[in-house]
Structure 1
Amino acid sequence: MTLTCLFDINETVLDLSALDGLFTDLFGDPQSRTLWFAQTLQNAMSAELCGRHAPFETQGQAALEMIGARFGRTLTAADKQRVADALKRLPAHADVRAGLDFARAQGVRCIAFSNNARAATRAQLEYAGLSDAFADILSAEDAGASKPVTATYRQAASSLGQPAEDLWLIAVHAWDIAGAQAAGFKGALLQRRPDQVANPLAPPQVTAGTLQEAVARILAHEGRG
Structure 2
Amino acid sequence: MPTQPKVIFFDVNETLLDLQPVKESVANALNGRKELVPLWFTTLLQYSLVATVGDRYADFGDIGAATLRMVAEKNHITLSQEAAEAALKPIRSLPPHPEVPAALRRLQRAGFRLFTLTNGGSAALQDQIGHAGLEPYFENLLSVESIGKFKPHRDVYNWAADEVGASPKDCLLVAAHGWDVAGAAWAGMQTAFIARPGQALYPLAGPTTYTCEDLSSLADRLVD
Fold shared per TM-score above 0.5: yes
1:157 and 2:161 are equivalent in the alignment: yes
1:122 and 2:126 are equivalent in the alignment: yes
Q: Equivalent residue of 1:31, what SS?
A: helix
Q: Which amino acid is the alignment partner of residue 16 of structure 2?
A: V
**Where does residue 85 of structure 2 map in the other structure?**
81
- Contact residue 99 and residue 210 of structure 1 kept, 8 A: no
Q: Equivalent residue of 2:200, what SS?
A: coil
- Contact residue 116 and residue 138 of structure 2 kept, 8 A: yes
Task: Report the CA distance between 1:196 and its aligned residue.
Answer: 2.5
Task: Report the CA distance between 1:60 and its aligned residue.
Answer: 1.1
**Where does residue 211 of structure 2 map in the other structure?**
207
Q: Which amino acid is the alignment partner of residue 13 of structure 1?
A: L
Provide the C-alpha distance between the structure 1 equivalents of 2:153 and 2:182, rounded to a whole number of angstroms: 10
**Where does residue 17 of structure 2 map in the other structure?**
14
Deviations for 1:114-133, whole angstroms, at most 9, x for unmatched residues?
A: 01122210111111121212
- Give the alignment's TM-score, normalised by structure 2: 0.90
Q: Which amino acid is the alignment partner of residue 15 of structure 1?
A: D
Provide the C-alpha distance between the structure 2 equivalents of 1:175 and 1:135, rounded to a whole number of angstroms: 25
Deviates more, 1:66-75 or 1:77-86: 77-86
The count of residues paired between Structure 1 and Structure 2 equals: 220
Task: Report the CA distance between 1:168 and its aligned residue.
Answer: 0.4
Provide the C-alpha distance between the structure 2 equivalents of 1:196 and 1:94, rounded to a whole number of angstroms: 21
Q: Which amino acid is the alignment partner of residue 156 of structure 2?
A: T
1:1-225 map, 5 Å: 3-28=6-31, 29-193=33-197, 195-217=199-221, 219=222, 225=224
Identity %: 30
Deviations for 1:122-152, whole angstroms, at most 9, x for unmatched residues?
A: 1111111212121110111222200000111
For the aligned residue pairs, the C-alpha RMSD in angstroms reads 1.9
Q: Equivalent residue of 2:179, what SS?
A: helix
Identify if the C-alpha distance between structure 1 residues 99 and 199 changes in structure 2 by more than 3 Å, giving closer, same or farther: farther
Q: Which amino acid is the alignment partner of residue 5 of structure 1?
A: I
- Contact residue 15 and residue 196 of structure 2 kept, 8 A: no
Provide the C-alpha distance between the structure 2 equivalents of 1:26 and 1:60, rounded to a whole number of angstroms: 13
Identify if the C-alpha distance between structure 1 residues 212 and 198 changes in structure 2 by more than 3 Å, giving closer, same or farther: farther
User: Structure 1 unaligned runs (5+)?
Assistant: none
- Contact residue 169 and residue 185 of structure 1 kept, 8 A: yes
- Give the alignment's TM-score, normalised by structure 1: 0.89
User: Structure 2 unaligned runs (5+)?
Assistant: none
Deviations for 1:59-110, whole angstroms, at most 9, x for unmatched residues?
A: 2122111111133222223312313421111111122112112211222221
- Contact residue 177 and residue 189 of structure 1 kept, 8 A: yes
Task: Report the CA distance between 1:33 and its aligned residue.
Answer: 2.6
Deviates more, 1:44-53 or 1:94-103: 44-53
- Contact residue 5 and residue 171 of structure 2 kept, 8 A: no
Provide the C-alpha distance between the structure 2 equivalents of 1:21 and 1:41, rounded to a whole number of angstroms: 19
Provide the C-alpha distance between the structure 1 equivalents of 2:58 and 2:64, rounded to a whole number of angstroms: 10
